[in-house]
Amino acid sequence: MILFAVLLLSSCATHHTARIGWEGDKIRLEFSPPNAGSPVLKCLSCNTELAPLPLQVNDQGIAYIKIDEVRKTPISHFRLTGSGIDTAVTLQQPVLYGSAGQTDSLIGRIMAVRYTIIYKDTTMTEPVGTLEKKDEVNLFGKDDVFYYIHQPGYNLPVVILRSHAVTIQ
């Protein structure tokens, strides 16, 4: 009886944790302890319904996965399950603005209040992306009509109409 209780407690005592972030254009997941078993990642915010994606975890507990669609959105939502982990994750794109010698700095964040088209500049002639309602992005500047924001993969600031978003920070 005591041996059974010890075996039961020792099997329940292994808690897995994961750190998730960007490394280049891939999502990097680091599991601790490294024997993560067979976890899966489900993209909750992808426009097309993707089946849960199995992760190939190496012996150091690290897995990489590339989902092209999430590199085009400011924020992506995932569900990570397996090996004692069942959690929702929100992953923001890394800030690229400023890497091309720009001097403007981050002044806050905004949240889209409706479906919003992102334009290359204030002429609004060239769309470069979209935001869904409740998407959040970094704010670099504003004028009477536009917010100047960061769009993942775009080195210069792009614009949206101020009427389509609210400042949250």
Model pLDDT for residues 9-39, shown as the tens digit of each residue: 444 556 677 788 887 778 888 888 888 778 8
At 7, which helix (H) or strand (E)?
helix 2-12
| Percent of the chain scoring above 90 in pLDDT | 18
Model pLDDT for residues 89-134, shown as the tens digit of each residue: 888 776 554 444 444 677 888 999 999 999 989 999 999 888 889 8
* Domain of residue 163, CATH code: 2.30.30.40
Predicted TM-score (pTM) of the model is: 0.54
Query: Does 117 reside within a domain?
Result: yes
How many independent structural domains does the chain possess? 2
Rounded-to-integer distance, Cα 76 and Cα 66, Å: 13
* Domain of residue 78, CATH code: 2.60.40
| pLDDT number for residue 50 | 79
Q: Are residues 113 and 86 in the same domain?
A: no
